[in-house]
Chain A
Amino acid sequence: MQSRALELLVGFFFCLGVAAIFILTFKVASVNGVGSGPAYRVVATFENIGGLKNGSAVTLAGVKIGRVRDIVIDRATFEARATLEIAAEYDNIPKDTIAKILTAGLLGEQYVGLEPGGDEQSLKDGDTIRLTQSAVVLENLIGQFLAGKAQEGAK
């Protein structure tokens, strides 16, 4: 009888521990469909990717629809080729969509924002996004600002 109560307690402890792991995975971690379900890949080249990383978010109208999967340098053009993985359910994104590298908040993480165009054809696996906008590099911006100020002063 004593051993039965003991086994009961051990079983209870075990279930509690497993339940805790489940709560952590489902309640705490981000296991939404994006990044785990079926997906297709498109390529976008940028002159400068700023702080974009493998795993950064790809958003459409602010909604996360995919992730950046791979970033390599194009050996011919010296541009960065980012492979974007987009969930298969978003299969009607127009071909002339613009990919911009944006920043969450003032100093936050960088992500790729898609702005849909008006093309009848939609992006398919292996396609390339032609229209892209690079990341804003703060130093360049300040440089431009100072150059503008200097010109003003010269007048």
Chain B
Amino acid sequence: MKKAIDILAEFLRGVGQAQYFLAATLAATPRALAKPHLIAQQIYSVGVLSMVITVISGMFIGMVLGLQGYRTLVGFGAEESLGVFVALVVVRELGPVVTALLFAGRAGSALTAEIGLMRATDQLSAMEMMAVDPMQRVVAPRFFAGFVAMPLLAAIFCVMAIGIAGGYAIGVELLGVDAGSYWSQIRAQVEMDDIWNGVVKSLVFGAVVSWIAVFQGYHAAPNSEGVSRATRNTVVMSSLAILALDFVLTAFMFKID
């Protein structure tokens, strides 16, 4: 019983720390923006380096949606609607969600390990000794870069999945759906709101994944086991947060219509 209360207290303390940490990060962000080269470097490591995996996953998701959608739709004689099917699924759901999951695995875990190792090797303490604020120098640029890079990656993912390399390649080139009706149906059925919903989702996911990643790294126990645990926590927590938030956001977005 005592142990259960301890675990609960520890959990609540973690949640509280995370809130403080987010507030501190946001407070440090304006000052970090004054050093754009730091942010550019982080956008490079979380954004540019995640691009290859995003593009390839986008292609395969688009292709598999093309195949699955075609098999189902052709039974109703509605295979001309394949484009709408692929576009709506990708723009509303899979684009932001799958990109965020990849982002958590590829960029989030790297962020946590990097900051955790800085903590373990006393680099963060050394910065404080030199009167350099690690929140401003290390944490804020990484958080901000994740926030900016996520929507861009999600957009690239969506274009790859819908376009020439994804659903279009399978639907039009391989299965013989008419190219004109593929695009015209997409344009007739996909609304601007769908795209905004996707962008909002990816912004939220980007912020949450970056938040979890920098928090876990910053508060990692300063030894090799602590860093490994923090990295694992980042991936697990981010994935759960993404899926749960996706449900909440989707319910909310359907409500406003």
Give A contacts to B, CB under 8 Å: 3, 6-7, 9-10, 12-14, 16-18, 20-21, 23-25, 27-32
Contacts and interface: CB of A to CB of B under 8 A. Distances in A.
Interface of B: 37, 40-41, 43-44, 47-48, 51, 87, 91, 149, 151-153, 155-156, 158-159, 162-163, 183, 186-192, 194-195, 198-199
Given A10-B43, A20-B156, A20-B159, 18 more contacts: A9-B44, A10-B44, A10-B48, A17-B47, A17-B149, A17-B153, A21-B152, A21-B155, A23-B163, A24-B155, A24-B159, A25-B192, A28-B91, A28-B158, A28-B162, A28-B186, A29-B187, A29-B190
Contacts of B194: 29
16 contacts: A3-B37, A6-B41, A9-B48, A13-B51, A14-B43, A16-B51, A17-B151, A18-B152, A20-B152, A20-B158, A21-B152, A24-B159, A24-B198, A28-B158, A28-B195, A30-B187
A3 B37 CA distance: 8
A29 B192 contact: yes
Nearest to B159: A20
Nearest to A31: B192
Given A10-B47, A28-B195, A30-B192, A23 B159 contact: yes
B12 to A, nearest CB: 38
A29 B191 contact: yes
